[in-house]
Amino acid sequence: MLTIYGDRISGNCLKVKWVADHLGLSYRWVDVDVVKGEAKAPEFIARFPMGQVPAVLLADGRALAQSNAIMLHLAEGSALVPADGFARAEMLQWLFWEQYSHEPAIAVRRFQKHYLGRADAEIDPALMVKGRAALDLMERHLATRDWFAGTAPSCADIGLVAYTRVAHEGGFALAEWPAVQAWVRRTEAGLRISG
C-alpha cells in the first residue's frame, strides 16, 4: 500500500493527499510534524535524504519526495495529466512556476504569520511584494479561462490551489483577485478538495 508522510498544515503535503483522494487510491497517512523538525530526524532522513515532506513509500518499497513529482507520478495516466502535449507542457510550466515564484512567497509568509505568529513588521516585506505579483499573474491568466492548463482541472490547479486557498492566513486578501477567488472555489468543488 502507498504510504504518504506529511504534515496537514503543509499545502505541499495536502496536494499529494488530494490527488490520492481524487483518484481513489488507497493509502496510509503518517503524520510528520515539520514545526517540531520530525522530517530532520535521522531515521526519517535515512529513508528520505531530502529531509522534507511530503514523501511517499510506494507499494513496491521505492521512495519518492517533492510534492509535484509525487503528484505527477500518482496521476500518471489519469485526466489530471492532460493527454495533449501542449496542455501537458503548460501544466508543467505552472508547476515549476508554483515552486519557484508562488510557494516561496505566499507559503513562506503564511507560515511566518499564521504558524510562527510573527507581526507584519517582523516579516520580510519582499514576501508580500512577490506574493502579490504571483496573484496578479494568476488573475490575468484566469481572466479568460477556467483552468491553468488545457480545458479541465489538472495537477497544475491542485498544485497552485494548495497555498492560494489559504493565502489570507499570510495577509493576502483574495477578494482583491476575483478571478483567482472564483477559480479556488471551482477547483475545490470540482476536485472535492477539503482539509
CA 173 and chain centroid, separation? 19
The C-alpha cell of 101 is what?
Answer: 515564484
Indicate whether 195 pLDDT > 80: no
The structural domains of the chain, with segments of one domain joined by +, span 2-75, 85-190
CATH 1.20.1050.10 fits 85-190, yes or no: yes
Amino acid 193: pLDDT: 80
Read off the pLDDT of each residue in 26-30 and give the average, rounded to a whole number: 98
Q: pLDDT tens, 77-98?
A: 999 999 999 999 999 999 999 9
How many residues are recorded in the chain?
195
Q: Distance of alpha carbon 48 from its chain centroid, rounded?
A: 19
Residue type present at position 26: S
Q: Looking at the domain that runs over 2-75, which CATH code has it been given?
A: 3.40.30.10
Exposed, middle or buried by CB within 10 Å (0-12, 13-18, 19+), for 150?
Answer: buried
